Structure 1
Amino acid sequence: MRKDVWWPQRPMRALVAGGATVLALTATAVAAKSFGDWGAPVNAESLPGSSSSLNTPSNDGCPILNPYDGSLYMASNRPGGYGGLDIWIAPRSGEGWGTPVNAGPAINSAADEFCPTPSRGNRFFFVRRLSATNTDIFVSKDLPNKGFQAPQRLPTGSDSINSPYEEWSPSWFETPDGREVLYFSSTRVGAPRQQVYYSVDYGPAQLAQGGVNSSASDARPNVRHDGLEIVWDSTRTGTLGGPDIWTATRSSVDQPWGTGIHLENGISSAGNDTRASLSWDGTRLMFGSTRAGVEGSADIFTSTRE
Structure 2
Amino acid sequence: MKSLTTILLFLLALSLSAQELSTTSRKAQKYFQSAYSHYQLHEFQSAIEELNKALDADANFVEAMLMLADVYNELKEDSLQVIYLEKALQQNSTHQTKAYYVLGNANYRLGKYQDALTAFRNFLSRASDSHPFYEKAESKQQLCLFAITLRKESGNAQAKNMGAMVNSEYDEYWPSLTVDGKTLIYTRLVPATGQQARRHFQEDFFVSNNADGEWQAASPMSSINTYYNEGAQSISADGKLLFFTACTQIDGYGSCDIYYARNRKGVWSKPQNAGEPVNSAAWESQPSISANGEYLYFASNRKGGKGGMDIWRCQLNGFYSSGVPRWSEPQNLGDSINTPGNETSPFIHADGRTLYFASDRHMGLGGFDIFFSRLVNDSCWIKPVNMGFPINTHKDEQGLIVDAVGERAYFSSDRPGSQGLDIYQFKLAAGMRPTPVSYVQGKVFDEANRNPLCAQIELIDVDNNTLVAQTESCWEKGEFLMCLPLGKEYAFNVSHPGYLFHSENFALQQVRKASDPISLDIPLNAIEVGSATVLRNIFFETGKYALLSQSKAELEKLIIFLDKNPLVKIEIGGHTDTVGEAEMNQSLSENRAKSVYSYLVEHGVNKDRLEYRGYGFSVPMASNETSEGRAKNRRTEFKIIAK
**TM-score, normalised via structure 2 length:** 0.37
Q: Establish whether residue 182 from structure 1 lines up as the match of residue 296 from structure 2.
A: yes
CA deviation after TM superposition for structure 1 residue 245, in Å: 0.8
Q: Establish whether residue 76 from structure 1 lines up as the match of residue 188 from structure 2.
A: yes
Identity, % of aligned positions: 21
Q: Establish whether residue 278 from structure 1 lines up as the match of residue 278 from structure 2.
A: no
Aligned-partner Cα distance in 2 for 1:78–1:153: 24
Q: Determine which of 277, 293, 299 is the counterpart of 2:422.
A: 299
Aligned-partner Cα distance in 2 for 1:44–1:61: 12
Aligned-partner Cα distance in 1 for 2:279–2:387: 29
CA deviation after TM superposition for structure 1 residue 89, in Å: 0.4
In structure 2, the CA distance between the partners of 1:95 and 1:65, relative to structure 1 (3 Å rule), is: same
Which residue number in structure 1 is paired with residue 350 of structure 2?
Answer: 225
CA RMSD, aligned part only? 2.7
Aligned-partner Cα distance in 1 for 2:235–2:291: 14
Q: Determine which of 372, 376, 394 is the counterpart of 1:247.
A: 372
Q: Determine which of 400, 414, 418 is the counterpart of 1:290.
A: 414
In structure 2, the CA distance between the partners of 1:198 and 1:268, relative to structure 1 (3 Å rule), is: same
Q: What residue ranges of structure 2 are gaps of 5+ in the alignment?
A: 1-153, 197-201, 317-326, 431-643
Range 219-228 or range 74-83, more displaced: 74-83
Q: Which has the larger radius of gyration?
A: 2
SS in 2 for 1:286: strand
Aligned-partner Cα distance in 2 for 1:289–1:212: 23
Aligned-partner Cα distance in 1 for 2:355–2:256: 22
In structure 2, the CA distance between the partners of 1:295 and 1:86, relative to structure 1 (3 Å rule), is: same
In structure 2, the CA distance between the partners of 1:81 and 1:279, relative to structure 1 (3 Å rule), is: farther
More helix by share: 2
One-letter amino acid matched to 1:73: I
Q: Determine which of 191, 209, 215 is the counterpart of 1:91.
A: 209
In structure 2, the CA distance between the partners of 1:182 and 1:266, relative to structure 1 (3 Å rule), is: same
Aligned-partner Cα distance in 1 for 2:257–2:168: 27
Task: Verify the 8 A CA contact 2:174 2:186 in the aligned structure 1.
Answer: yes
More strand by share: 1
Task: Verify the 8 A CA contact 1:38 1:304 in the aligned structure 2.
Answer: no
Q: Establish whether residue 66 from structure 1 lines up as the match of residue 178 from structure 2.
A: yes
Aligned-partner Cα distance in 2 for 1:249–1:191: 20
1:92-107 → structure 2 map (5 Å cutoff): 92-93=210-211, 95-104=213-222, 106-107=223-224
CA deviation after TM superposition for structure 1 residue 136, in Å: 0.9
Which residue number in structure 2 is paired with residue 203 of structure 1?
Answer: 328
Q: Establish whether residue 258 from structure 1 lines up as the match of residue 372 from structure 2.
A: no
CA deviation after TM superposition for structure 1 residue 72, in Å: 1.2
Range 73-82 or range 95-104, more displaced: 73-82
CA deviation after TM superposition for structure 1 residue 68, in Å: 3.7
One-letter amino acid matched to 1:168: S
Q: Name which structure has the greater RCO, CA cutoff 8 Å, separation 6+.
A: 1
Task: Verify the 8 A CA contact 2:209 2:218 in the aligned structure 1.
Answer: yes
Task: Verify the 8 A CA contact 2:306 2:339 in the aligned structure 1.
Answer: no
Range 284-293 or range 211-220, more displaced: 284-293
In structure 2, the CA distance between the partners of 1:108 and 1:192, relative to structure 1 (3 Å rule), is: farther
Task: Verify the 8 A CA contact 2:171 2:419 in the aligned structure 1.
Answer: no
Aligned-partner Cα distance in 2 for 1:237–1:272: 13
One-letter amino acid matched to 2:361: R
CA deviation after TM superposition for structure 1 residue 81, in Å: 7.4
1:11-30 → structure 2 map (5 Å cutoff): none
Task: Verify the 8 A CA contact 1:210 1:258 in the aligned structure 2.
Answer: no
Task: Verify the 8 A CA contact 1:64 1:279 in the aligned structure 2.
Answer: no
**TM-score, normalised via structure 1 length:** 0.75
One-letter amino acid matched to 1:67: V
